[in-house]
Amino acid sequence: MDSIKKLAELFGKFPGIGKRTAGRFVYYLINQPKENIDGLIAALQELKNAVKLCEFCFNPFENNGPLCGICQSPARSKNILCIVEKESDLLSIENTKKYTGLYFILGGTLTLRKSDGSHLRIEALKNRVKGGSFTEIIVALNPTPEGKSTSVLVERALKEGLGARVQGLGFKITHLAQGLPVGGELEYADEETLESAFEGRK
């Protein structure tokens, strides 16, 4: 395959990038001086070498140690856990500056093709919850059909693993309040909407 086609195909796999945009990226790069291309290659390699996934929440980070800045921070409440689908959802919630607990990134949702959930971090989630002292777990998945069916799966897993604690020790599972656009995604909600969905959770 020639290099133009090959690169266009690789860009075409990026989230939200169609064939036409992928082609534009390739022609943009063709017209760049060589040093810019070298800089891009170096940045890509550094990304893969320097960035790790947090051992607790799977948030990508670059500092030393096994935990990300959020999980390490003494200012964060260790009693609340917020389960999100992906990194950008965590970022949207962080941007509201209203949430002070911990996160867990599930790594996706159920889809028609992947409907058994084996691609999600369900087992890791059960372990985090078993090993933690959470009094509240917020299931903050997107209000899309995929997000909703994934919420059901997550809750079942939490309850299966921790049935006694859920009923016995005031451990509760909450959801974001209605108000997020139906079928919309957390990452596109404005801060105010997300903030009130968070504050009204039940």
Q: Which residues bind Zn ion (CB under 5 A)?
A: 54, 56-57, 59, 68, 71
- Rounded Cα distance between 26 and 71, Å, is 39
Smallest gap, in angstroms, from Cβ of residue 103 to Zn ion?
A: 7
Closer by beta carbon to Zn ion, 71 or else 189:
71
Smallest gap, in angstroms, from Cβ of residue 157 to Zn ion?
A: 20
Smallest gap, in angstroms, from Cβ of residue 52 to Zn ion?
A: 10
Smallest gap, in angstroms, from Cβ of residue 15 to Zn ion?
A: 22
Closer by beta carbon to Zn ion, 52 or else 119:
52
Closer by beta carbon to Zn ion, 42 or else 91:
91
Closer by beta carbon to Zn ion, 71 or else 83:
71
- Rounded Cα distance between 12 and 6, Å, is 10
Residue nearest to Zn ion (CB): 54
Q: Which residues of 161-172 are buried (b: 16+ CB within 10 A; e: fewer)?
A: bbeebbeeeebe
Closer by beta carbon to Zn ion, 58 or else 171:
58
DSSP string, 94-124: HHHT---SEEEE------SSS-S-TTS-HHH
Smallest gap, in angstroms, from Cβ of residue 11 to Zn ion?
A: 30
- Rounded Cα distance between 95 and 90, Å, is 9
Smallest gap, in angstroms, from Cβ of residue 193 to Zn ion?
A: 25
- Rounded Cα distance between 148 and 202, Å, is 15
Instruction: Give me the count of residues in the chain.
Output: 202
Q: In what order do the strands lie in the sheet with 80-84?
A: 102-105, 80-84, 136-139, 172-175
> Which residue, 188, 183, 187, 186, is CA-closest to 144?
183
